[in-house]
Amino acid sequence: MLRFILGRLAVLIPTFLGVSIIAFTFIRILPGDPVMLMSGERVMSEERYLELTHQLGFDRPLWVQYLDFLGGVLTGDLGNSIVTRRPVLSEFFSLFPATLELSLCAILIAVLLGVPLGIVAAIRRGSWLDQSIMGFALVGYSMPIFWWGLLLIILFSGVLGWTPVSGRISLLYFFPPVTGFMLIDSLLSGQEGAFRSAVSHLVLPSIVLATIPLAVIARQTRSAMLEVLGEDYVRTARAKGLPPRCVIGLHALRNALIPVITTIGLQVGVLMAGAILTETIFSWPGIGKWMVDSVFRRDYAVVQGGLLLIAGIIMLVNLIVDVLYGLVNPRIRH
């Protein structure tokens, strides 16, 4: 098992180096000089320009700059945001809980609905129930989620007035972040109505972000279930007279869920891409919105650091999924 994990890590290291090279290169090929960008609207003298270039190390050979950048990455220094002047890493960690909370809620919705729907569709293969579930799944899979979010805002915020349009909590409440998760912090604050407010802010974005993973998980569960239901051991279980609930719950589901776990793991990338759109629509202060804003502000230090961190998280989660998969399915370890 250790060899399996080490083998995976050995593949990850060059990939991560490649990711760092890409993130590093982006800032160099972007239109505009980073030093000039720092000066903003002000006019900069030739001397000051050269001084700043030297100070920031842009006059050194590229490979020296890259090694310096890589050294910074490995010691947790991703530079400072050009706009806010704060360290990129601390900005990232102050915003990441918002995205994590949203993503966790979304994946929870997707799994809790998607897996049972997929199972039901597989058991009732060919029925109208199967066809409607798969029909809905395909619609969800094809959904432009930025439009879906706007539609939900029109209905639930505009027409019904049930949910707020943006943010994580009503401005009426203020408490210092403890965990960074608004649901937990609002409970800890003890303020009346704070938790309700946090939940009502979270509902629509979670549904929007859950849409595509839900569809993918339902489809994947159905096909994995169908494959397993055709296996000999399921027939044996049926033949020896076990009740259907037992056959499906005990024999079929356990094996069908193995590929589903991988699918759930793979949704991390989907969630991050979805977070970019969802957070923009709902003004959710997470890293998706942070990246979009930084791209527009041309805050290249943030774009560079953010790309690296997001790719790093995705790679890490994929590694964990791989290892889990190896644990439940010994065949692929070899």
Partner 1 sequence: MATTNVKDPNAATGLEGRPTVAATRRAMLAEFWYYFRQNRGAVMGLVVFLLIVLVAIFAPLIAPHDPAMQVRGSFLVPPVWEAGGSWEFILGTDAVGRDILSRILYGARFSLFIGLVVVALAVTVGVIVGLIAGYFRGAVDTIIMRLMDIILAFPSLLLALVLVAVLGPGLTNAMIAIALVLQPHFVRLTRAAVMAEKGRDYVTAAKVAGASDLRLMFKTILPNCTAPLIVQATLSFSNAILDAAALGFLGMGAQPPTPEWGTMLAEAREFILRAWWVVTFPGLAILITVLAINLMGDGLRDALDPKLKRS
Task: Estimate to the nearest angstrom the gap between the alpha carbon of 27 and the chain centroid.
Answer: 23
Stretch that binds partner 1, among 12-20, 38-46, 101-109, 179-187 (CB under 8 A): 12-20
Q: How far apart are CA 289 and CA 297, in angstroms?
A: 12
Min CB(277)–partner 1 separation in Å: 6
The verdict on 141 binding partner 1 (CB under 8 A) reads yes
Selected binder of partner 1 within 39, 189, 280, 329 (CB under 8 A)? 280
- Min dist CB 142 to partner 1, Å, is 4
d(CA 88, CA 77): 8
To partner 1, the closest distance from the beta carbon of 15 in angstroms equals: 5
CA 220 to chain CA centroid, Å, is 19
153 binds partner 1 (CB under 8 A): yes
Instruction: Pick the piece of the chain touching partner 1 (CB under 8 A) from 61-69, 74-82, 131-139, 187-195.
Output: 131-139
30 touching partner 1, by CB under 8 A: yes
CA–CA distance, 139 with 212 (Å, rounded to integer): 9
Give the contact letters, 286-305, x = binds to partner 1 (CB under 8 A), - = no: -----xx--xx-x----x--
Q: Which residues contact 139 (CB under 8 A, 6 or more apart)?
A: 215
Q: Which is nearer to partner 1, 29 or 43 (CB)?
A: 29
Q: How many helices (H) and strands (E) does the chain have?
A: 14, 0
Q: Closest CB to partner 1 among 147 and 233?
A: 147
> C-alpha distances in angstroms, 30 versus 33, 83, 171, 295, 308?
8, 17, 38, 11, 17
Residue in 82, 102, 204, 276 binding partner 1, rule: CB under 8 A: 276
Cα(44)–Cα(47) distance, integer angstroms: 8
Q: With contacts defined by CB under 8 A, how many residues of the chain interact with partner 1?
A: 45
Which residues share a beta bridge with 80? 87
Q: Give min distance, CB of 311 to partner 1, in A.
A: 4
Q: Which of 139, 246, 250, 328 binds partner 1 (CB under 8 A)?
A: 139
Interface with partner 1, residue 315, by CB under 8 A = yes
Which residue among 2, 6, 31, 40 contacts partner 1 (CB under 8 A)?
A: 31
Question: In angstroms, rounded to a whole number, what is the distance separating the alpha carbons of residues 98 and 28?
Answer: 30
Going 115 to 221 to 134 to 281, the CA torsion angle's sign is positive
Site for partner 1 in 243-272 (CB under 8 A): 269-270, 272
CB 326 within 8 A of CB 4: yes
Burial 226-255 (b: 16+ CB within 10 A, else e): bebbeeeebeebbeeeeeeeebbeebbbeb
Minimum distance from residue 22 beta carbon to partner 1 (Å): 6
Contacting residue, 151, 178, 327, 332, with partner 1 by CB under 8 A: 151
Is 257 or 311 the residue whose CB approaches partner 1 more closely?
311
Give, in order, the Cα–Cα distances in Å from 140 to each of 135, 145, 148, 182. Answer: 9, 9, 10, 28
State the residues that interact with partner 1 by CB under 8 A: 11, 14-16, 18-19, 22, 26, 29-31, 135, 138-139, 141-144, 146-148, 150-151, 153-154, 157-158, 269-270, 272-273, 276-277, 280, 291-292, 295-296, 298, 303, 307, 310-311, 314-315
